[in-house]
Amino acid sequence: MISVIRKKVRNRERLNTSEARWVLSEEPDIWELGKLAHEMRCMIHPPDRVTYQVDRNINYTNVCISQCSFCAFSRPPGHPESWTLSVDEIIQKVSETVDAGGDGILLQGGHNPDLPFNYYTDVLKAIRARFPLIHIHAFSPPEIVEFSKLYRKSAEQIMGKLIEAGLDSLPGGGAEILIEPTRKKICRKKCSGQEWLVTCRTAHKIGLKTTATMVIGFGESVDERLQHLLWIQDLQDETDGFTAFIPWTLQPANTSLEGKIEPLGGIEYLRLQAAARLILDNIPHHQVSWITQGLRVGSVALRFGADDFSSTMMEENVVSAAGASYKSNEAEVKRVIEAAGFKPVKRLSLYQNILHA
């Protein structure tokens, strides 16, 4: 089978369903799979270059009603450890990001039923007024779905108002595994997989680019993983709205899943990284998730299909609450990329106007 996959990669032919299932399984030699994914990546992007971004993940509230079993960050409404950032506090974090050379922010939070819609538009307007050039990458599909339900407007209307206030693009978080029954088991109060896809389709329709994500390690089957990727592939064929794909593994520490699920290791992550590049031939950029895997595994992933080292992540609260405490800065990210044999290139949020480091 590996020779068939190799031939298809070199001829730029899409894998069929059985071939895609095979690369996701444990059958292929992991190193051969990595070589093929890297070969494919080098056919799409300059082989000697790896991009990265300087930005910050600002979590505006930890109040959430979703009760996802894998989340160690959220607190229910009224909990003594709950908090919500003020507009001024958010502006201060954005200012620190700009001072550190950042050109974008990722703004996400829990599903807080007590916040009025103008909280979100006021935040966006304040950021845009103070920092007109910064890219605002904010509000994942599950947040948009919750806004739609809470404020009784369609997702398109919600996103239209957010765009008017300053929104530039949507992060693709909250996808986890899009397929039932696993999704219902791990996050039954969050939007369904189909709602996630419809929200992304709507965003693309009105001009918002998004990323796409995937988390493995919930006990899902290979077929569930495959269907997740194929749904994303189908939507990308339709809209061309996904700029990047970011996979990672479940971090169960400090969650209700701790002790019930054995965390996946670096090999499982690298297999997914490589397989996703081979399957998602229509999504141009594939990011390393060093924030969950660490810089060492992240550097190896650059030979498993990834062309982007993601963000320097000046701040991150959700994954770190679940025990992944990896931190870095721009200088270290550049050193890791160089040590892996590539030239680090600073990019903007949508991969446009690449800035040479």
Q: Give the number of domains in the chain.
A: 1
> pLDDT tens for residues 204-223?
999 999 999 999 999 999 99
In sequence order, the β-bridge partners of residue 286 are 245
As given in the structure block, the two tokens for residue 301 are 């992933």
| Confidence (pLDDT) at 315 | 61
3-class secondary structure, 310: strand
Residues in the chain where the model's pLDDT stays below 50: 321-324, 357
**DSSP label at 190?**
S
In 159-280 the beta strands, taken as DSSP E runs, fall at 169-170, 209-216, 242-249
The boundaries of the domain holding residue 104 are 2-356
The pTM score is 0.93
Q: What is the distance between the alpha carbons of residues 160 and 163, in angstroms, rounded to a whole number?
A: 5
| Confidence (pLDDT) at 259 | 77
DSSP track, 158-181: HHHHHHHHT--EE--TT-S--STT
As given in the structure block, the two tokens for residue 353 are 């106007």
As given in the structure block, the two tokens for residue 273 are 């990284």
As given in the structure block, the two tokens for residue 138 are 């904010």
Q: Which helix (H) or strand (E) holds 53?
A: strand 49-53
User: Are the beta carbons of 34 and 305 closer than 8 angstroms?
Assistant: yes
Domain containing residue 222: CATH number: 3.20.20.70
> pLDDT tens for residues 47-99?
999 999 999 999 999 999 988 988 888 999 999 999 999 999 999 999 999 99
Return the sign of the alpha-carbon dihedral for residues 117, 118, 122, 124. positive
User: Are the beta carbons of 216 and 186 closer than 8 angstroms?
Assistant: no
